[in-house]
A and B are shown apart, each in its own frame.
Chain A
Amino acid sequence: MTDTVLEARGLSVTFGSRGGPLARAVDGVDLSVRTGEIVALVGESGSGKTTLARALLGLERPSAGDVLLDGASLDRSARGLRAFRRRVQLVLQDPAGALNPRHTVYESVAEGIRLHRLDSATGRTETDLVAEALSSAGLRPPERLFLRYPHELSGGQRQRVLIAGALAMNPQLLVADEPVSSLDASIRGEILALILHLRDTLGLGVLVVTHDLGLAWNIADRIAVMYLGRVVEAGPTEDVLRDPQHPYTRALLSVVPEIDHMDPVVLTGEVPDPTRIPHGCRFHPRCPALADGSAAAVADACRGTALPILPAGEGHHTACHLVAARQGAAS
């Protein structure tokens, strides 16, 4: 695919404690985001989604595999990382904590422009660039906000300032980590609409890291569901959320609070410790299909045979022995 902006290939990130076991936080992931595409990476706390996002931003060094920008391996020299981090921008969660309370809106947005000397690179004044970034983020007229401090802004405005700071870099891709989880319900829609608008007008690729499946339904073209360091199901959002295959995806969907949904499958416990990833299918100790006997025919494979890494890109893929057996029987 030529228009793939950012790609992970067989990416793994491990954390070691001295003398202790290795934690395989990301354990072999293929994932790609194309120009003008919004991909949602969903999973519970501890699934490795934030570590994967950090590795894609060049903030964690992978223990295996590679990160590619425009098809080229990430250059990990200081200069290479600097250029990379301009083109791939992070939008943090919790805008109240991410903005420096002593910096005005202007200072916060201008910081990156100064760091990357974008005024001389583009031949435009710093003020111009800041104003343009703020209006792209929906803060108009921008001049009125220049001298405001974060505490004078509403939650929605603060989130827009963070997005403006990212847009000022003229990036190709945004990585947004839970962009609306700390915002009020009414503001949430406004920020999601802004992300869609930026994709449409600027052709930005966006990777949204979230545990909110409603958010994915609202804006994502594709969705990748992560469990314990691996993508276990991926595909077009409509396919994955309307016809989930993996028992884990089904369980996640079943507990979204709504009035008339499927019977909730509340998994017990939490995502296991990544220093002790279960053998076979990593989900098998919590798998409701294995517990209720519906996966009895493939139970040996579930407990003993590891599943392959799902391919990035097109199609709806699931890493599950039961699904594979069903598909094999159907064809």
Chain B
Amino acid sequence: MSGLLEFEDVSVTYRTSGGDVPAVRGVSLSVAAGEVVGIAGESGCGKSTLAATILRLQPPSAKVTGRVLFEGEDVQTMRWGDLRALRWAGASMVFQGALHSLNPVQRVGAQIAEPIRLHEESLSDSAVARRVGELLEQVGLPAARARAYPHQLSGGQRQRVMIAMALACGPRLIVADEPTTALDVMVQAQVLGVLRDLVREFDVGLVMISHDLSVLADLCDRIAVMYAGRVVEQGPAGKVFTDPLHPYAAALAASFPHIGDMAARYAPSGLPGDPPDPADLPTGCSFHPRCPKRFGACETTDPQLRSDSAGRAAACLLVEGR
């Protein structure tokens, strides 16, 4: 399968005055056209840093090793001209927090038109306006909303505008970073429906980042669960959510109760402790201080991600021993 996007042993290290901080440590992952891949994990696990490397959006203090291949070309080493062509037209991003990502003093139509004008300078004003109208309708908003300012829209409508903007130049890959985190369940369902239709209709690849495993399980084909800069489990979405192999993936899955499951009544499931400081990672398996199933060897042995025949993989000594 030729990948649309391929991470090959990608590591990202932030150089700070206090020393090097590894944010992403050796991630390999691929996304095919028409495929939806979820990246799950807590704040600080490196998921957003990893996503930023797709468009070379990481800050200058970050050192990236390994290769990030978009349609076979290494994004991290390509020339500026090629990178400009890639951004928006090849791959685009839907950021979290639509309220803060939109310009408050510009009509949303003008904001959607901006990348179109940059990439297709020959288009007439009326053609651009028509395209903006079509994009808005694709995400379920009336074309007339192009004249609205961001404050005149609700949170869900603003998030739709962000998605319309990401679609503006017909990308082959969309990266959505927590696109529904601040939204209500009903509006979240509407936005997820828009994303699902886009993948089906245009065969784009979608990378969806979230800390909510239940949302990812609903939308994605495959899920990679990250912890402390590494992928600790990956596999088919339904399997990772309902039958996780890694104890961390299990804890994430259990934190969203199945409504109706009496075992979850008055028994919220959490994970004690906090994620480790990336500048000061625990020895052995970096999850062992919080792991409910740890044993002696976990403190000294760093487990590698191992795949099984069913396309599932986990980095856990318990899984290796099975």
Q: Cβ of B154 and Cβ of A45 under 8 Å apart?
A: yes
Q: Does B212 contact A (CB under 8 A)?
A: yes
Q: A184-B42, A217-B265, A218-B265 are in contact. Are A259 and B238 (CB under 8 A)?
A: yes
Nearest chain B CB to A262's CB is how many angstroms away? 11
Contact between A188 and B185 (Cβ–Cβ < 8 Å)?
A: no
What is the bound-complex CA distance between A253 and B238, given in angstroms?
A: 20
Q: Of B9-17, B267-275, B295-303, B307-315, which binds chain A?
A: B267-275
Known: A193-B268, A257-B218, A259-B241. A266 touches B257 (CB 8 A): no
Q: Are A252 and B255 in contact (CB under 8 A)?
A: no
Question: Quick one: closest B residue to A43, CB to CB?
Answer: B184
Q: Are A241 and B217 in contact (CB under 8 A)?
A: no
- B: number of interface residues (CB 8 Å): 46
A196 and B265 alpha carbons, distance in the complex (Å): 11
Shortest A93–chain B CB gap in Å is 11
Check if B185 sits within 8 Å of A252, measured CB to CB. yes
Interface mask (A245-278 → B, CB under 8 Å = 1, otherwise 0): 0000001110111110000101110100000000
Using a CB-CB cutoff of 8 Å, which residues 210-225 of chain B contact chain A?
Answer: 211-215, 217-219
Contact of A186 among B154, B192, B217, B255 (CB under 8 A): B255
Bound complex: CA of A253 vs CA of B265, how far in Å? 16
Question: Is B256 in contact with chain A by the CB < 8 A criterion?
Answer: yes
Q: Is the CB of B255 within 8 A of A188?
A: yes
CA distance A148 to B210 in the complex (A): 30
Q: Flag whether B138 is at the interface (Cβ < 8 A).
A: no
Q: Is the CB of B186 within 8 A of A251?
A: yes
Mark out the residues of chain B between 256 and 284 whose CB falls within 8 Å of any chain A CB in the assembled complex.
256-261, 264-272, 274-275
A153, closest chain B residue (CB): B274
Q: B196 CB to closest chain A CB, in angstroms?
A: 11
**B156 interface residue per 8 A CB criterion:** yes
Q: Is the CB of A217 within 8 A of B257?
A: yes
Cα distance A41–B157 in the bound complex, in angstroms: 24
**A259 engages B266 (CB within 8 Å):** no
> A185 near B212 (CB under 8 angstroms)?
yes
Instruction: Given A185-B255, A257-B214, decide whether A218 and B268 contact each other with a Cβ distance below 8 A.
Output: yes
Cβ 8 A contact of B186, one of A185, A212, A259, A267: A267
Most buried by B among A196, A218, A257: A257
Point out the residues of chain B lying under 8 angstroms from A188, CB to CB: 255, 268, 270
Most buried by B among A185, A217, A237: A185
Q: What string of 1s and 0s marks CB contacts (under 8 Å) between A144-167 and chain B?
A: 000000000011110000000000
Quick check: A218 and B184 within 8 Å, CB to CB? no
Question: Would A186 and B42 be within 8 Å (CB), given that A154-B274, A156-B274, A241-B260 are in contact?
Answer: yes
By beta carbon, the residue of chain B nearest A200 is B266
Chain A's nearest CB lies how many Å from the CB of B243? 11
A257 near B268 with CB under 8 A, answer no
* Known interface pairs A196-B268, A255-B185; A270-B260 also in contact (CB < 8 Å): no
CB of B213 within 8 A of CB of A185, answer yes
- Rounded to whole Å, the gap between the CB of A32 and the closest CB of chain B is 21
Give the interface centre of B43, B193, B259 by most chain A CB atoms within 10 Å: B259
Bound-complex Cα distance A154 to B156 (A)? 29
Q: Does A86 contact B (CB under 8 A)?
A: no
Check if B189 sits within 8 Å of A189, measured CB to CB. Answer: no
Is B76's beta carbon under 8 Å from chain A? no
Do A266 and B255 contact each other (CB < 8 Å), given the known contacts A189-B268, A211-B185, A213-B185? no
* A185 with B252: CB separation less than 8 A: yes
Tell whether A238 is near chain B: CB-to-CB under 8 Å. Answer: yes
Return chain B residues, CB-CB under 8 Å to A259. 217-218, 238, 241-242
**A266 partner, pick from B189, B218, B265, B272, beta carbons under 8 A:** B189
How many angstroms between the C-alpha atoms of A45 and B157 in the bound complex? 13
Alpha-carbon gap, A237 to B258, bound state (A): 14
A214 at the interface (CB under 8 A from B): yes
- Chain B residues with CB below 8 A from A252, complex form: 185-186
| A187 touches B (CB below 8 Å) | yes
**B58 interface residue, CB < 8 Å from A?**
no
Q: Does B190 contact A (CB under 8 A)?
A: yes
4 A-B pairs with least C-beta separation: A189-B270, A192-B268, A186-B271, A255-B189
Residues of A participating in the B interface, judged by any CB pair closer than 8 Å: 44-46, 154-157, 184-193, 196, 211-214, 217-219, 237-238, 241-242, 251-253, 255-259, 264, 266-268, 270
The 8 listed contacts between A and B (C-beta, < 8 Å) are A44-B185, A45-B154, A185-B252, A193-B268, A193-B270, A218-B257, A218-B264, A257-B219
Given A218-B257, A238-B265, A270-B156, output 19 extra A-B contacts at Cβ < 8 Å: A44-B185, A45-B184, A184-B42, A184-B275, A185-B213, A186-B42, A193-B268, A193-B270, A214-B257, A217-B260, A218-B266, A237-B265, A258-B214, A258-B258, A258-B259, A259-B217, A259-B218, A259-B242, A266-B190
